[in-house]
Chain A
Amino acid sequence: MKAPEIIRPDSYWQKQDEIIGKEALATLQLEHLTKSLRRVYSNVPFYHTRFDEAGLDPENIKSLEDIRRLSFTTSDDLRANYPFGLLAVSKDEVVRVHTSSGTTGRAKAICFSKNDIECSATLIARCLVMTGTGKGDILQNMMTYGLFTGALIMHYGAEKVGALVIPAGPGNTERQIQLMRDFGTTVIHITPSYSLYLASALQQKGIDPRKDLNLRRAYLGAEPYSEETRKKIEAIYGIDVYNSYGLTEMSGPGVAFECGYKNGMHLWEDHFFAEIIDPETGEVLEDGQEGELVLTSLRREAMPLIRYRTRDITKIITGVCECGRTHRRISRILGRSDDMFVVKGVNVFPQQIEQVLMGIKGVAQNYQILLESYDHLTIRVEIAKELFDGNIEHLLQLQTEITDKVRADILVKPKIELLEPGALPVSEGKAKRVIDNRTM
């Protein structure tokens, strides 16, 4: 495979902000944090109470660590304050609301001021320029437009850097392929699972994305996925794949993004203050330790969030990045603390299993994890069509290989069911990988 494209070292959207010195950044963070805390203390009753309970005086913030005295803001807090309970501005200042329904309970509403949208678009512009996208690029945006922030914020950022944007939205694979061919799409913004689905659709039509399309890079986000999957997608399409991280609560994508070195995602620390915590105890962990990412927005106007639990598991990558940007990096999302499941007493993330599966020849792109009891793990794997040669020995060998490799990685011996290609439901959005039929 070809080496990753390394972007010109002078490719910055906001150079001074992106290469800001460590101390200057800390000063800037404290300045914005203090402003934000004062605003929520005066305008948001929820935070007013929280601060008083913690004995935190927003007029007397000495360091960034002072906020550790505050308890976390959770998605339940957002739901409880739906729709406008956490507004720090008057309703008239809100120009946009995004909601996310989630699978349980009430929706979360995230409000944006005009400036909030401008800030997010600017962060996306940084990300795009950092990865070589600009004027002359044609970006086909296959994320969901609408209540989900993924597509819209990317859209604004891409227009900002002068790219031509095709607001395709997800699904309708025939049309996606047509658009890619007709317009010579160079960049796609897509979920990992849909990119794999699209790859198999292209293959079925006899289109070789490496030769017949004009693609150069893809931005993947919205679902955690493994490094093996990235390599697979890069090889199939013959492109560079960059990880994108964001969440609606923090204004959508562009919170953290990979540079040309593809070694972790730079988290824009002049807009967000990041902590990594132990998801069980809430204790703040050292850099380099795996845990849940907790974010404090530093500049959001409409709905600032303090110590928001993202539920995403990652770690801070220590050390300086060769690209010159000083903002610390987070590793790819290793999983959602909600997705983690326990089987035979072992904590397992679906991504661990995915990583193993994607490294095995003969396995197609789709899989499902089935939990029927607390000591049995079943993994349903589609075989690759090319693998089937009519020989049962080869299937048995594949089954044994998967069993052994998964056991070596997660220390639980799984039962492997081999499925026909295409047997599992195909996802054009977020894929549902874990089916948990256990009752508490």
Chain B
Amino acid sequence: MKLKQISVFLENRKGRLWEALDALANAKINIRALSIADTSEFGILRLIVPDPDMAKKVLEKGNFTVKENNVVAVEVADKPGGLAEVLKVLSDADINVEYLYAFVEKSGEKAVVVLRTENTDAGIKALKTAGIAILLAEQVYAL
């Protein structure tokens, strides 16, 4: 149920994001989803890739500071209120969401939301109990 996500620390230097993405492209690593959190002085690039261990190796070889985290991916209907429903489930269970990002799958009917909760296991449990479909890693990579 858990999905591995790669977080990359990016200092505020021109071209550093491009260097990270270029390193992955050269290693023929496909990026399924990507999000950037940044402040004026630094940022974090988050990635979902089919082979996270490989991606981590490639990035570390390029002197990037990388961390693997567990996240959860859920499918929500691509219509108003779809995401709100998921968040309500977690909020009712008193589970703190650190961040989330979404991408729309190819068919365009459903959106995939990547969630990072403070406690991943508790998050999964709450979502399951509420009957929300959690995507397996293979399903996300196949999107």
Contacts and interface: CB of A to CB of B under 8 A. Distances in A.
Interface of A: 383, 385, 388-393, 395-396, 399, 415-423
Contacts of B12: 417
A392 B37 contact: yes
A415 B12 CA distance: 13
A104 B98 CA distance: 53
Nearest to B99: A392
Given A390-B7, A417-B12, A420-B11, A395 B42 contact: yes
Contacts of B13: 423
Nearest to A384: B65
B42 A417 contact: yes
A383 B65 contact: yes
A390 B39 contact: no
Given A385-B65, A399-B41, A418-B42, 12 more contacts: A388-B65, A388-B67, A390-B46, A390-B69, A392-B99, A395-B39, A395-B42, A417-B41, A419-B11, A420-B11, A420-B63, A423-B11
B41 A422 contact: no
A422 B39 contact: no
Contacts of A416: 41
B63 A392 contact: no
Contact of A390 (B11, B41, B63, B67): B67
Contact of A388 (B9, B46, B98): B9
A176 B15 CA distance: 35
A20 B42 CA distance: 58
Contacts of A421: 65
Contact of A391 (B5, B65, B98): B98
B64 interface: yes
A417 B7 contact: no
Contacts of A392: 37, 39, 44, 99
A389 B116 CA distance: 13
A422 B64 CA distance: 9
A396 B67 contact: no
A177 to B, nearest CB: 21
Contacts of B5: 390
A418 B9 CA distance: 10
A419 B64 CA distance: 11
Interface string B15-48: 0000000000000000000000101011010100
A2 B58 CA distance: 41
B11 A422 contact: no
Contact of B65 (A396, A415, A417, A420): A420
> How would you classify the secondary structure of chain B's contact residues: helix, strand, loop or mixed?
strand
Interface residues of B, number: 20
A416 B42 CA distance: 10
Contacts of B63: 420, 422
Nearest to A399: B41
A433 B63 CA distance: 22
A389 B67 CA distance: 6
A399 B38 CA distance: 13
Contacts of A423: 11, 13
A383 B9 contact: yes
Contact of A418 (B11, B64, B69): B11
A416 B12 CA distance: 11
A416 B40 CA distance: 10
A435 to B, nearest CB: 15
17 contacts: A383-B65, A388-B7, A389-B69, A390-B5, A390-B44, A390-B46, A391-B98, A392-B39, A395-B9, A395-B39, A395-B44, A399-B39, A418-B42, A420-B9, A420-B65, A421-B65, A423-B11
Interface in B62-102: 63-65, 67, 69, 98-99
Contacts of B46: 390
A280 B42 CA distance: 40
A438 B67 CA distance: 38
> Nearest 3 A-B pairs (CB), nearest first?
A390-B7, A390-B67, A419-B11
Specify which of A385, A388, A420 lies most central, judged by the most chain B CB atoms within 10 Å of its CB: A420
Contacts of B67: 388-390
A420 B64 CA distance: 7
B81 to A, nearest CB: 28
Interface in B89-139: 98-99
A389 B118 CA distance: 12
Contacts of B41: 399, 415-418
B119 to A, nearest CB: 14
Contacts of B11: 417-420, 423
A399 B41 CA distance: 9
Nearest to A378: B41
A147 B42 CA distance: 42
Contacts of A389: 67, 69
B101 to A, nearest CB: 13
A161 B117 CA distance: 63
B5 to A, nearest CB: 8
Contacts of B9: 383, 388, 395, 420
Specify which of A392, A415, A418 lies most central, judged by the most chain B CB atoms within 10 Å of its CB: A392
B21 to A, nearest CB: 16
Nearest to B37: A392
A242 B93 CA distance: 57
A430 B123 CA distance: 51
